[in-house]
Amino acid sequence: MDVEKLIECLEAYFPLSLQEGWDNSGLQVSPKEKFIKAVLLSLDITLDVVEEAKRKGCNLIIAHHPLLFSATKRIDRDIYPFNVLYRAIELGIGIFAFHTNLDIVDGGVNDCLCERLGLLDVKKLEIKPVRIGRLREPMSFDEFLRFVKNTVGVEFLKYVRANKNMVERVAVCGGSCMDILSDLRGNEFDVFISSDLKHHQAIWAKETGINVIDATHFFTELCSKEILKRAVDSCCHGIKSYLSESESLPWEYI
C-alpha cells in the first residue's frame, strides 16, 4: 500500500480536521519510497525509535506526538528534534503524527483511558477532549490512588488531596490538560486525572477544593500506539505493524 492510501485510510478513523489550531498533526517526513513495507507505532519519536524502525524493516513511523510543532529558522543536526529528523531522512523513514485529533475523536486516547479505569456512563465535555465518568463502586482517595497506579501502570503519582470526599465521578484528560482546571468548575466530579501539573496550578486546586492526580504525560497517553495499531491492522491489510518497544519515561526517580 502506498503512503497516500494508508494515510487516507487512517484519516477516516482520526480526521485531521479535529486537531487543535496550534497542533501539527499529519505528515512530518515523507518516506523515501512511497510503498509502505511496515509501520512502527509509537507515542514519541526519538533516535531509539527511528533505529528500532530500521531494525524491524519499517519505512514509516506513526506517532501520537508530532516531531515538529512550530516553524524554525535554524536546523542543528545535533539537537533534538532535528537530530531525529536527520536520521529518519537518512534512512528513508517517513514520520506521521495523529495528536490532538487522536485525543478528541470517539474511541481515542481519552476514551481508552476511561476504559482502563472502568468508568461507566462516560460523557464528553465541550472543553477540549475531557471525559467524565463514574466508578462502579466509590473508593476512598487512597484506594483510588492505588487503583490508578495499578491500572495506568505508573510507578509514582503526583497528586493534590483537596478534600476528604469519596471518589466516584472521575474527570479524565490524557496528556497535558492541567491548564483547563478552572474551566472544569461547575461540572460534577470528585477527582481530575491528567498530567504536567505545575506549582501554581497545584496551589489553585488545593485552595479551590479540587482533587487532582498527575499520572504523567507518558502513561496517560501510552495507549495511543495501541489505538493506532488497531486502526492500521483493520484498514491496511498486508502491512505489518509493530508497537515500539524502545520508549520510556524521559526521566528517572530516586
pLDDT in tens, 148-173: 999 999 989 999 999 999 999 999 99
Asked whether residue 240 is domain-assigned, the answer is: no
Q: What is the pLDDT of residue 71?
A: 81
Asked whether residue 245 is domain-assigned, the answer is: no
Task: Provide the whole-model pTM.
Answer: 0.93
Same domain, 191 and 138: yes
**Domain final residue, candidates 52, 74, 101:** 101
Q: Which has more pLDDT, 100 or 72?
A: 100
Same domain, 94 and 135: no
Asked whether residue 249 is domain-assigned, the answer is: no
Asked whether residue 234 is domain-assigned, the answer is: no
| pLDDT tens digit sequence for 92-151 | 999 999 999 999 999 999 999 999 999 999 999 988 889 999 999 999 999 999 999 999
Question: How many domains does one find in the chain?
Answer: 2
Whether 214 and 11 have beta carbons less than 8 Å apart is answered as no
**Domain final residue, candidates 48, 73, 101:** 101
Same domain, 123 and 210: yes
List C-alpha distances in Å: 153 to 43, 113, 159, 230: 15, 12, 16, 21
Same domain, 93 and 113: no
Same domain, 63 and 141: no
Same domain, 124 and 94: no
Whether 188 and 168 have beta carbons less than 8 Å apart is answered as no
Asked whether residue 238 is domain-assigned, the answer is: no
pLDDT at 43 over 90: yes
Identify the domain containing residue 96 by its residue range: 3-101
Asked whether residue 126 is domain-assigned, the answer is: yes
Same domain, 79 and 140: no
Q: What is the pLDDT of residue 36?
A: 94
CATH of the domain at 24: 3.40.1390.30
Contacts of 146-150 with C-beta under 8 Å, sequence gap 24+, read 147/117, 148/117, 148/193, 148/213, 148/215
Same domain, 94 and 148: no
Same domain, 84 and 151: no
Same domain, 118 and 213: yes
Q: What is the pLDDT of residue 238?
A: 84
| pLDDT tens digit sequence for 196-247 | 999 999 999 999 999 999 999 999 999 999 999 999 999 888 899 999 999 9
Alpha helices in the chain (DSSP H): 3-13, 47-55, 82-91, 100-104, 109-116, 141-152, 199-208, 217-221, 224-235
- Identify which of 209, 177, 184 has the alpha carbon closest to the alpha carbon of residue 132: 184
Q: In what order do the strands lie in the sheet with 158-160?
A: 120-124, 131-139, 167-172, 191-194, 212-214, 158-160
Whether 212 and 159 have beta carbons less than 8 Å apart is answered as yes
Same domain, 65 and 125: no
Asked whether residue 246 is domain-assigned, the answer is: no
DSSP 181: G
